[in-house]
Structure 1
Amino acid sequence: MQVSSPITGQNNVKILREVLTNDIVNTWKELFGLDIKKEFRGNEKIYLCLCVESGLLFYSPSEVAGSDSLYKSLSEKFDWYYGDDKWEFDIAFDIIKKYNPKSLLEIGAGRGHFIEKIQSLGVSSLGLEFNKEALAFAENKKLPIINSTMESLIFQKKSYDVVVSFEVFEHLTDPKAYLEESLQLLTQNGLMIIAVPNRKSFIRHADVALEMPPHHMLSMDVDFFKYIAKSYNLEILKTLYEPLAEYHIDYYLWMIKQGYLSFTPSRKVNKVISVFLKMFKTLLEIGWIRSLFRGQTIMVVFKKK
């Protein structure tokens, strides 16, 4: 089986494992009440692959990436899908405030929560989004979010001092085009800010439905972003890790438990782990203790040289 890397275009790729799509379909039905079988377009198996050069993990084939209707279903059924209170919003806001740009572009702006926040700085901003439900929400709030593409903005000779994306990059099937188009739109010395799930965070302990196709197609850590900086002649100004969020405590503990049980799946070990995690949860509910543990998201701030 020949697979090419979506970031290098080369076939220096290792297939790490195969995943039965029916298992993912059943998990989505159980967790979310959604039937996603059609999203896999007849593929009974998908493959988790490693781009050896960049360190990027990606799923193949790319055709199993989620459709517009999938994101519509998620956003309509779950209010948390386009959350308005995210760690990365606050951190990016503070960075942008110090940078004092004239213009900003957000890729995958969702319902416009960050665009609305950034407008308080007087920055000329624009968001791109394709989800019709999210677009309608943003339109009702009169936010500058449109259904368009970076390619269209490049054709119009637009440019921006800051280009941001939050929890978008991991959904892509063509990250190379995304980076190249983002940098075409970015002014000299401009900032590109990317926030994604950190694959070396607690999510590594178990398979997570939303971290796999048809939802997520890519998985990254800091080494991948170092590769990006070197490949595109960018300077990394900051690498920031989200502290464990209060609303992720139960999720975090469940992940740890799954990680241990994958090695020693006995009833006795399960009981011991459950007692330990119950005590650990009490500690994590204390804010300053929880802040010592890394959460799910990594955010990288690049500067275009």
Structure 2
Amino acid sequence: MTVFSPINKSSDVTILTILKRSQIIEAWHQQFQIDITEEIGEQEEIYLYRCNQTNLMFFVPFDIAGSDKLYEQLEKYDWYYMPEKWEHNVALQDLENCQKVVEVGCGRGAFVERLCTKLKLDAQGIELNSNAVKYAQKKGIPVLKLDVHDFSIDMANYFDAVCSFQVLEHISDPYIFLESLIKLVKPGGNLIISVPNAESFLKRIENHLLDQPPHHMTRWSQKSFDSLTSIFPLRVKKFRIEPLATYHVDSYLSDQLFPMPKLILLEKITRRVSHHILKPILKNSSFLRNLIPGHTLYVCFEKLG
């Protein structure tokens, strides 16, 4: 079977990893107490490929992206919908001269609320998670349950800026999704996207369940975003990498210190050094954290034409 990249339809791809369906189902049950049997299809093996032309990594089969039901179960965890993110603050700079803004995949609408109340923008959000939409609407935040493809037909070339934070990686067909986002933006307007950084320290975490199907379907890098300018009418205006966040310090230190051979005495020593010396230093030094690439990539495109 020939596999094609979902972003440029190229067959110049390399297989990176093979995952077992049964192992993923069991891991989700143990870690999150969520049954994903119906989410992940019938194929016993799931493949991770890299497009050699764009550096985009993607999972096959394509039809195993999580449903609304999966996200409704994940939202019971407080960390899942963070009301304020690093990329929100970066985006505010790129929205200074905008008036009409939409956030696609806005969750509970925290950023939309911020745009409406603090910046007085004509902002709205669309979201597919029914519970998140109800939560936002109860707070009076202008969020509607709409599909972006249908929305883009009715609102083509309407918005000064379109934002989508931590959504693209969940989409099984990123080409259609990006095409819809771009359609919403006025020529000369901004398309703002953030995704997990495929080249951060998190990439070395084995069996990172939230970075594979049915949760994530693609993995992005700066090269992947740069390649979009040859596929769509876009120009990169700004590209940023989030510095290591304080709440990721523990994960970062574990990743850096504990892949070494499991010698019990050595592990005890490194854990003590990590906890008592390195952890406080990193958490209290924004200068040092700024030197370490963190979780999120941020890109602001200008729509051409």
Q: TM-score, normalising length from structure 1?
A: 0.92
Whether 1:188 aligns to 2:187 is yes
Alignment of 1:207-226 (within 5 A): 207=206, 208-226=208-226
CA distance in 2: counterparts of 1:184 and 1:57, whole angstroms: 25
State the partner residue of 2:197.
198
The 1-side partners of 2:230 and 2:11 are apart by 20
> Which amino acid in the other structure matches residue 114 of structure 1?
F
- Asked if residue 116 in structure 1 is aligned to residue 105 in structure 2, the reply is no
3-state SS, counterpart of residue 36 of structure 1? coil
1:127 corresponds in structure 2 to: 125
**1:205–1:256 contact (8 Å) kept in structure 2:** no
Unaligned runs of 5+ in 1: none
Q: Which residue does 2:2 correspond to in 1?
A: 2
Against the structure 1 CA distance between its residues 151 and 38, is the aligned structure 2 distance closer, same or farther, given a 3 Å change threshold? closer
Contact 1:192 1:303 in 2 (8 A): yes
The Cα offsets for residues 242-265 of structure 1, whole Å up to 9 and x where unpaired, read as 12111111122223345x24xx45
Q: Secondary structure at the match of 1:241?
A: strand
SS state at 1:236 partner: strand
CA-CA distance at 1:145 after TM superposition: 0.9
CA deviations on 1:21-57 (whole Å, 9 max, x unpaired) are: 2222222222212222222122221000111221100
1:167 touches 1:196 (CA, 8 Å); kept in 2? yes
Quick check: 1:15 aligned with 2:15? yes
Q: CA deviation at 1:184?
A: 1.4
Q: Decide whether the 8 Å contact of 1:194 with 1:299 is kept in 2.
A: yes
Please tell me whether the aligned partners of residues 104 and 160 of structure 1 are also in contact (alpha carbons under 8 angstroms).
yes
Q: Which residue of 1 aligns with 2:90?
A: 91
Residues of 1 paired with 2:17 and 2:85: CA distance? Answer: 32
Greater percentage in helix: 1
Distance 2:94 2:216 in 1: 27
CA offsets per residue over residues 74-93 of structure 1, 9 Å max, x none? 01x21221110211111112
Query: Which range is displaced more, 227-236 or 54-63?
Result: 227-236
The aligned length equals 299
**What is the match of residue 235 of structure 1?**
235
Q: Aligned pair 1:47/2:50, yes or no?
A: no
Q: Residue by residue, what CA displacement relative to the aligned partner does 1:90-130 show, whole Å, maximum 9, x if unpaired?
A: 11123212xx1121111101000010011122221221101
After superposition, where does 1:52-91 map in structure 2 within 5 Å?
52-75=52-75, 77-91=76-90
Return closer, same or farther for 1:29/1:253 CA change in 2, 3 Å cut-off: farther
**What is the RMSD of the two structures over their aligned residues, measured on CA atoms?**
1.8
Task: Output the CA distance in 1 between the equivalents of 2:221 and 2:58.
Answer: 12
1 CA distance for matches of 2:153 and 2:25?
40
| Alpha-carbon distance in structure 1 between the residues aligned to 2:263 and 2:231 | 47
Q: Tell me which moved more, 234-243 or 212-221.
A: 234-243
Q: What residue ranges of structure 2 are gaps of 5+ in the alignment? A: none
Question: Which moves more between the two structures, 13-22 or 190-199?
Answer: 13-22
Q: Which position in structure 2 is the counterpart of 1:251?
A: 251
Equivalent residues of 2:104, 2:127 under 8 A apart: yes
Contact 2:149 2:177 in 1 (8 A): no
> Which residue does the alignment assign to 2:175?
176
Using the size of structure 2 for normalisation, the TM-score is: 0.92
How far residue 280 of structure 1 moved from its aligned partner, in angstroms, is 1.7
Query: What is the identity, as a one-letter code, of the residue corresponding to 1:295?
Result: G
For the 8 Å contact 1:283–1:290, the answer to whether it is kept is no
Identical amino acids, percent of aligned pairs: 34
Shift of 1:68: 1.3
Q: Distance in 2 between matches of 1:199 and 1:217?
A: 12
- The 1:269/1:116 distance shift into structure 2, 3 A limit, reads same
Matches within 5 A, 1:288-303: 288=286, 289-303=288-302
Post-superposition Cα deviations, 1:216-264, rounded to whole Å, max 9, x if no partner, equal 0100110101101232242211111112111111122223345x24xx4
Aligned with 2:213: secondary structure? coil
Runs of 4+ in 1 over 3 A off after TM superposition: 264-273
